[in-house]
């Protein structure tokens, strides 16, 4: 055998140059690569074209099919035809495959079996029951194949194996076929080629395998290494390319699986190395693909709102409306605050723009407040989201079939998907084409969602992103085992040459076992024979590799802690390189040395010692290796490459020092002074002051930085209302009941148990309408618990002697906050809502605040609890001022405030706070405001508070670290006012 395959192909093309030549190749890409290499390496060719067997046959029968009105169907359509017949046959009693077994994996095996029989030219009447190990299976396969054949005949359809009868004419006299020998063809395809060629076919002998003795591969340019993981292996290959200064468009990287391709894509993007992929990447690597994948997860999860919010945050979808000035962030914030959690009905009800948000009961937010500008904007956003949601959810009939789900995906992505690149547009176009093809397939019977989703996912996995079949100038070229080795580039890297990837495993088709293939005959291949043919075709392509070759494999996976052995072909090549035909795996491992890690520092390499660094991390370790760790200031070296590490170290050192610094929450200087002066005219609430006293740093996060805590609802089958929602419900019941019963007979009040229960039930049902319960059992359990809380309230009210006057009373005058003059030097603006105001005597009042939590923090002998309980005092002053300024009672005096716990958990306790120490209120508030003015926002003195803090992930153990600084003498003056407040009981 003289020369190479390309030389022999060139010679065959150049013989009788005026005769048209058709080169039959396994794929268009491979055939075009042959011609490109011939033109580049040998000489120009003319009057030649590349075809695959399928395109060649289809081109010759196309007119014949048109005249007879025959439609050639795709593999996808045949798959759904088989699925349709399997469903029909499953309806019969004692069916071999029942309806429950008609699932993607089983249908795929059955479809493959039918197609194997078709490609072997086997018809249903040729099958006998004794061809199969089970007579029932034999009967099933024969009947299924017969149904498929009859369907094609009735519909005037045909698949590719059925084209043989339509081949009526041979090649013209001036046309000759050229094809590699051997070439993997099914029996039917081989007969088609023979009939069409009419004997004018030249078979070109292929090259020997690259690891065979007869291979012309230069052994001097063969290199090998192994690595600790696929990422380390890819990084080492790129490091060698960069170190040797190899032009990227002279390199082909052949990878064994999709993980390598994704790793190469990720690393090349981080290094700004352009690369192209012969087989493309998975469709999830595109924005549109990720959006489709996420939407399917959202559908499968029962419409978890967190997943929808995540899609908006990642900009996979957009709900923005420029005309209405509604941004994607507005929609995200509203969805998070709505507390939807899951379930279609919760979206509809909780996004109702007329529904008032059930927020935490405090003096800052409460129902009945006049709509502010912010609330008007929220109303508009909710209306916008409601309009979107109405058409966003798939109809129930749509999610009962793969076509329906795919149609819904296309509709949503067409309207809300973000298409910014050509890849995104191509993915959406592929999905539309797939949907159109699916619509022409037999419609499957209605499926459950969990059955239809796997089919949809499998179809989408066939979409590839960024496919670049032929090498691209200036780009690294990445190919796979199915098409690699034909680019003709000077440098080739074969990654993933471990035994598992190269040898694989033999898996028989359970519907057409190897023994059954042998019995049927007709050229049917067993699973082992198919595997050998695929490997031989791979090795034939790799035999065309020329130039420098680097082979590698991952011998150890750090993540899984597993080891892998090199492929036998690698050992064969090592034997040729070493000249020792008896070399074993142990000798191969010794020659490879230690496996290369992610950094590759200190490993044997063909590059020079002063090779350029791949990135900053590689640069650092390169220097360390060169100096053998002899750096006097290693920290400065690392921080010179990564400045952010230096900033972090400075922060840690500052926190570790004894002085209080900005890293502890102390903001000094003119910037804070200017900011504080601008805030002086804004109204304060009691809860704001209490939250500062509890934890100044949390106050800073929430009110200064305005860091919003995400209100994410987690699906909980055992719970209906959140604590704040339950509290809102109880407050509404108390208000409605007391308002109605007071209106009947204000003094003395005659309580009505039946009225209270009716109001309770009405309120519970109203909440159930807005917030659906996960199940009737959970709803009933919580309903009874709420009723028990109401019973506690009723027993407490039956003993009350005072006269209720006002409920849910907002402390404002003419729509403006109250100005409280606490002393001659201090006036604050106060805004809040008092749950209830009772009159105990002429001009004497008690204010009441309902608490649905635990009474534990409210001690009988306590008053201000270190500034964390100020509401009773501030509201007492504010109530007096409101009554006097509005003329309700110009001599009003609030004698006491009461924290009332009307629930099972609160055990009906009442904690009274006498309002005789107004001067102490002023001291506490003055101390809090002075600390704020100083810019002092250090963590809480009680680390136990951090267990329930929304910002705990930000602080960590900062509160514990601050304990020593609080007691340090040098910090006493700075902390004096704050500590004085904390010590006040």
pLDDT tops 70 at residue 600 = no
759-780 mean pLDDT: 88
Per-residue tokens: 211: 């690891």
Task: Name, of 252-266, 388-402, 714-728, 828-842, the range with top average pLDDT.
Answer: 252-266
Q: Give the lowest-confidence range in 204-213, 509-518, 592-601, 623-632.
A: 623-632
CB 386 within 8 A of CB 353: yes
Smallest CA-to-CA distance from 460 within 295, 593, 333, 589 is with 295
| Weakest mean pLDDT among 229-233, 629-633, 939-943 | 629-633
Q: Is the pLDDT score of 608 beyond 50?
A: no
- Tell me: pLDDT of 224 over 90: yes
**Nearest residue to 308 (alpha-carbon basis) of 285, 342, 337:** 342
Q: Strand pairing partners for 806?
A: 837
pLDDT of residue 143 exceeding 90, the answer is yes
DSSP 393: S
pLDDT, residue 225, reads 94
Q: How many CA atoms lie within 13 A of 223 on its CB side?
A: 18
Q: pLDDT-based confidence at 605, cuts 50/70/90? A: very low
Q: What are phi and psi of 483, to 5 degrees?
A: -145, 5
844-850/833-841 β-pairing: antiparallel
Indicate the average pLDDT of the chain: 86
88 and 227 Cβ atoms separated by less than 8 Å: no
Which residue is listed with tokens 């009225």? 755
Q: CB within 8 A of 456, min separation 6: which ones?
A: 296, 402, 405, 406, 409
The per-residue pLDDT for range 302-311, each reduced to its tens digit, is: 898 889 999 9
- Angle subtended by helix axes 75-90 and 135-155, to nearest 10: 120
Q: Is the pLDDT of residue 822 over 80?
A: no
How confident is the model at residue 475, as a pLDDT?
95
What is the average pLDDT across 140-148? 95
Enumerate the β-bridge partners of residue 281: 465
Contacts of 247 (CB under 8 A, 6+ apart): none
Average pLDDT for 49-54:
94
pLDDT single digits (tens) 677-694: 777 667 778 888 888 888
233-237, 312-316, 639-643: which has the minimum mean pLDDT? Answer: 639-643
pLDDT at 369 over 50: no
Cα end-to-end distance, the chain, whole Å: 101
Whose CA is closest to 121, among 64, 152, 154, 165? 165
Number of other CB atoms surrounding residue 620 within 10 Å: 20
Mean pLDDT of 723-742: 91
Instruction: Tell me the per-residue pLDDT of 698-716, one tens digit each, with 9 for 90 and over.
Output: 988 888 888 877 666 565 6
Residue keyed to tokens 């802690």 = 561
Among 145-149, 456-460, 873-877, 913-917, where is mean pLDDT lowest? 913-917
- 341 pLDDT more than 50: yes
Residue 372: predicted pLDDT: 63
Task: Read off the pTM.
Answer: 0.77
Per-residue pLDDT reduced to its tens digit, 25-49:
999 999 999 999 999 999 999 999 9
Provide mean pLDDT across the span 521-533: 88
* Per-residue pLDDT at 362 exceeds 60: no
The per-residue pLDDT for 359 is 41
Between CA 327 and CA 334, with CA 330 as vertex, the angle to 5 degrees is 150
Q: List the alpha helices (DSSP H) in 543-598.
A: 568-578, 585-592
Predicted local confidence at residue 152, as pLDDT: 93
Residue 1 pLDDT: 39
Report d(CA 536, CA 885) in Å as an integer: 96
């Amino acid at each position: 055998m003289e020369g190479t395959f390309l030389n022999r192909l060139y010679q065959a093309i150049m013989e009788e140059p005026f005769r048209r030549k058709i080169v039959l190749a396994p794929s268009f890409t491979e055939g075009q690569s042959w011609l490109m290499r011939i033109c580049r390496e040998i000489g120009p060719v003319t009057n030649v074209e590349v075809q695959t067997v399928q395109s060649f046959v289809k081109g010759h029968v196309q007119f014949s099919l048109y005249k007879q009105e025959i439609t050639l169907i795709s593999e996808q359509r045949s798959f759904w035809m088989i699925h349709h017949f399997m469903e029909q046959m499953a309806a019969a009693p004692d069916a071999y495959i029942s309806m429950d077994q008609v699932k993607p994996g089983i249908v795929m095996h059955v479809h493959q079996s039918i197609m194997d029989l078709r490609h072997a030219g086997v018809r249903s009447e040729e099958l006998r029951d004794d061809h199969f190990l089970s007579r029932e299976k034999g009967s099933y396969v024969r009947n299924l194949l017969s149904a498929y054949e009859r369907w094609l005949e009735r519909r005037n359809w045909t698949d590719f194996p059925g084209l043989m009868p339509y081949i009526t004419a041979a090649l013209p006299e001036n046309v000759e076929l050229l094809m590699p020998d051997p070439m993997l063809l099914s029996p039917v395809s081989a007969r088609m080629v023979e009939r069409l060629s009419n004997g004018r076919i030249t078979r070109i002998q292929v090259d020997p395998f690259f690891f065979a003795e007869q291979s012309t591969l230069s052994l001097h340019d063969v290199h090998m290494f192994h690595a600790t993981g696929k990422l380390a292996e890819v990084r080492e290959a790129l490091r060698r390319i960069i170190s040797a200064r190899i032009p990227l468009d002279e390199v082909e990287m052949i990878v064994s699986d999709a993980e390598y391709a994704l790793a190469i894509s990720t690393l090349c993007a981080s290094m700004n190395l352009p690369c192209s992929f012969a087989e493309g990447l998975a469709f999830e690597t595109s924005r549109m693909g990720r959006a489709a994948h996420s939407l399917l997860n959202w559908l499968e999860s029962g419409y978890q709102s967190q997943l929808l919010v995540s899609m908006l945050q990642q900009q996979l979808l957009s709900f923005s409306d420029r005309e209405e000035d509604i941004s994607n962030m507005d929609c995200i914030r509203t969805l998070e605050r709505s507390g939807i959690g899951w379930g279609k009905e919760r979206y509809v009800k909780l996004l109702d723009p007329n529904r008032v948000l059930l927020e935490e009961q405090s003096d800052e937010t409460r129902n009945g407040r006049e709509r502010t500008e912010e609330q008007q904007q929220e109303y508009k956003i909710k209306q916008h989201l409601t309009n979107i949601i109405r058409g966003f959810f798939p109809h129930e009939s749509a999610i009962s079939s793969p076509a329906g789900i795919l149609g819904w995906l296309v509709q949503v992505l067409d309207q809300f998907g973000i298409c910014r690149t050509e890849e995104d547009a191509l993915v959406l176009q592929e999905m539309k084409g797939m949907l159109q093809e699916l619509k022409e397939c037999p419609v499957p019977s209605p499926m459950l969602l969990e059955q239809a989703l796997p089919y949809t996912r499998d179809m989408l996995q066939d979409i590839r992103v960024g496919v670049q079949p032929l090498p691209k100038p200036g780009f690294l070229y990445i190919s796979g085992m199915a098409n690699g080795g034909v680019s003709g580039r000077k440098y080739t890297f074969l990654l993933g040459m471990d035994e598992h990837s190269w040898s694989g495993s033999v898996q028989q088709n359970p519907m057409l076992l190897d023994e059954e293939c042998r019995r049927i005959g007709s050229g049917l291949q067993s699973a082992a024979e198919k595997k050998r043919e695929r490997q031989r075709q791979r090795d034939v392509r790799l035999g065309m590799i020329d130039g420098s070759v680097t082979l590698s494999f991952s011998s150890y996976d750090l993540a899984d802690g597993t080891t892998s052995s090199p492929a036998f072909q690698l050992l064969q090549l090592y034997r040729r390189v070493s000249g020792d035909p008896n070399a074993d795996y142990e000798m191969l491992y010794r020659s490879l040395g230690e496996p290369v890690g992610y950094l590759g520092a200190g490993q044997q390499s063909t590059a020079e010692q002063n090779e350029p660094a791949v990135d900053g991390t590689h640069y650092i370790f390169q220097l360390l290796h060169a100096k053998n760790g002899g750096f006097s200031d290693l920290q400065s070296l690392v921080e010179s490459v990564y400045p952010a590490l230096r900033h972090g170290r400075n922060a840690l050192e500052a926190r570790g020092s004894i002085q209080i610094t900005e890293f502890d929450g102390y903001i000094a200087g003119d910037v804070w002074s200017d900011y504080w002066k601008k805030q002086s005219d804004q109204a304060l609430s009691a809860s704001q002051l209490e939250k500062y006293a509890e934890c100044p740093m949390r106050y800073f996060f929430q009110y200064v930085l305005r860091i919003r805590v995400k209100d994410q609802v987690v699906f909980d089958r055992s719970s209906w209302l959140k604590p704040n929602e339950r509290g809102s419900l109880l407050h509404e019941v108390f208000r409605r009941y007391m308002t109605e019963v007071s209106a009947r007979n204000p003094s003395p009040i005659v309580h009505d148990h039946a009225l209270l229960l009716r109001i309770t039930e009405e309120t519970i049902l109203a909440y159930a309408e807005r917030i659906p319960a996960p199940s009737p059992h959970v709803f009933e359990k919580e309903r009874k618990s709420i009723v028990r809380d109401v019973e506690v309230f009723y027993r407490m009210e039956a003993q009350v002697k005072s006269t209720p006057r006002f409920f849910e009373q907002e402390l404002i005058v003419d729509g403006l906050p109250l100005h409280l003059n606490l002393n001659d030097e201090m006036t604050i603006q106060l805004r809040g809502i008092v749950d209830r105001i009772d009159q105990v005597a002429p001009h004497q009042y008690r204010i009441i605040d309902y608490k649905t939590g635990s009474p534990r923090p409210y001690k009988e002998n306590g008053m201000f609890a270190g500034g964390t309980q100020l509401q009773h005092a501030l509201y007492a002053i504010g109530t007096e001022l409101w009554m006097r300024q509005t003329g309700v009672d110009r001599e009003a005096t609030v004698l006491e405030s009461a924290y009332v716990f009307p629930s099972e958990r609160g055990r009906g306790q009442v904690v009274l706070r006498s309002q005789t120490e107004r001067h102490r209120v002023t001291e506490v508030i003055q101390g809090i405001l002075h600390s704020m003015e100083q810019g002092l926002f250090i963590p809480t003195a009680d680390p136990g508070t951090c267990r329930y803090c929304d910002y705990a992930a930000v602080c960590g153990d900062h509160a514990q670290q601050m304990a020593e600084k609080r007691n340090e003498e040098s910090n006493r003056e700075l902390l004096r006012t704050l500590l004085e407040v904390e010590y006040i009981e």
